[in-house]
Amino acid sequence: MAGRRVAIVGAGMTKFVRRALETGPELAWEAASKALESCEMTLDQVDAVVLGSAPDAFDGVHMKVEYLSPGAGAWGKPTIRGYVGGGTGVFAAIQGWYHIASGMFDTALVVCEEKMSSCHPHPQAAFNYIFDHTTERPLGPNLLWIFALEMNAYMTKYGLTKRDIALVAVKNKRNAAAHPAAQLGDPNITVEDVLNSEVLAWPVQRLDVSPVTDGAVAVVMAADHVARRVTNRPVWVEGVGWSLDTQYWTNRDLSYPTYVEEAARKAYAMAGIREPRKEIHIVEPYDPFDYKELHHLEGLLLADRGKAAELVALGIANRDGAMPVTPSGGLLGVGNPIAAAGLMKVAELFWQLRGEAGPRQVPGQPKRGLAQAWGDLMQVGTVIILGI
């Protein structure tokens, strides 16, 4: 383990909704103040702030983190923005870790916010500006192209069916029914519902995709000596890793997320994990699309290539299965306020490992969990491993 030991000692989040009345700073404040309340800390005990948020265009405010800073408790404090697109939520926690592991600070408040409803008529249009300006943007690209091409390549390579993949959406939306903050939990959803939903860009259909969401999540991180004073159940950061694939998205192996494997290998090495399938008890992989959960489980080396769908089909990935995957309900069920969605996965591990997840609690007193996110131009992998 590099540097000082660091723990997460508190967590809080807003409800995830399609359109919040709250402004971005108000959402950030609600999540951040709940996280501090959860560990009975006050703002003056926070040494530094890490603020994670995805493209400025979503909130429609340039220099968005400065805009959000009042709600994140950043006034008068060293503050940094974490931004690796969809990978931001997990990366912000990694930044919180190295702020403290380095010895520079004893505590950090990590806040992630996204208010996507500000972008009209749909935040999808903002994604047009991530494509190459002379060779792709003139084609009028749509982000769904990438996912549809990737899902098709993945299905074709391994002979997977739409039904195999739709089972992920069913599992996660059912899991989310037990999450008090969820936007799209549904205890009765069936695979037919997914297969009959509107086709967006074949093979991607409406219920294969996570929704547009407003929301915020925060965690409080602390150095060993502070963490033990604050709580008798600190949740330790055991490993972190992140890696970036090529910006030329067409040139990647669309059927395998190499960038996730690179990030996972760094995190496993740091945590001293040799057999991740045995040593990771809960997985929260990034699931903005149902096939991406499978893709990421393979990149995390938790399933053989092309075989992750079997974990879902056989129930191994269920909340009470041998390797629970996305017990929170994930982006597909809880919702997808981009940066906040990744940190929601980190917060879920915090609650699960402390046995505080209520009706979502994974049985068997899990000791170690992994959260992963994915982003930038679909090319970054960010991984964190937590344990008690």
Partner 1 sequence: MPLKERISHIDEVRSWQGSIRLEGVYTAGVAGERWLRGLQEGRIYGTRCPRCRYTYVPARLFCERCFGHLDEATWVEVGPQGTLTSWTRVHVALDGQRLSPPRCIGLVRLDGADALLVHDLLEDGTPLRVGLRVEAVFRPPAERVGSIRDLAYFRPVP
**Site residues, partner 1 (CB under 8 A):** 14-15, 17-22, 30, 60, 62, 120-122, 124-125, 128, 133-136, 138-142, 144-145, 148-150, 152-153, 156, 198-204, 246-248, 250-251, 254
Instruction: Give me the least distance between CB of 383 and partner 1, in Å please.
Output: 23
Strands 6-13 and 48-52: unpaired
Instruction: Give me the least distance between CB of 356 and partner 1, in Å please.
Output: 18
Give whichever of 19 and 229 is closer to partner 1, judged by the CB atom.
19
Give whichever of 53 and 318 is closer to partner 1, judged by the CB atom.
53
The burial class, CB within 10 Å (0-12 / 13-18 / 19+), for 306 is middle
Q: How many alpha carbons lie under 13 Å from residue 316 in its C-beta half-sphere?
A: 17
Check if the beta carbon of residue 1 is closer than 8 Å to that of residue 42.
Answer: no
343/92 Cα distance (integer angstroms): 8
Q: Which helix (H) or strand (E) holds 250?
A: none
Check if the beta carbon of residue 86 is closer than 8 Å to that of residue 54.
Answer: yes
Give whichever of 195 and 200 is closer to partner 1, judged by the CB atom.
200
Give whichever of 61 and 191 is closer to partner 1, judged by the CB atom.
61
Instruction: Give me the least distance between CB of 157 and partner 1, in Å please.
Output: 8
Check if the beta carbon of residue 209 is closer than 8 Å to that of residue 194.
Answer: no
Instruction: Give me the least distance between CB of 335 and partner 1, in Å please.
Output: 12
Give whichever of 188 and 251 is closer to partner 1, judged by the CB atom.
251
Instruction: Give me the least distance between CB of 119 and partner 1, in Å please.
Output: 11
Instruction: Give me the least distance between CB of 104 and partner 1, in Å please.
Output: 32
* Encoded amino acid at 165, one letter: I
Give whichever of 45 and 128 is closer to partner 1, judged by the CB atom.
128
Check if the beta carbon of residue 271 is closer than 8 Å to that of residue 5.
Answer: no
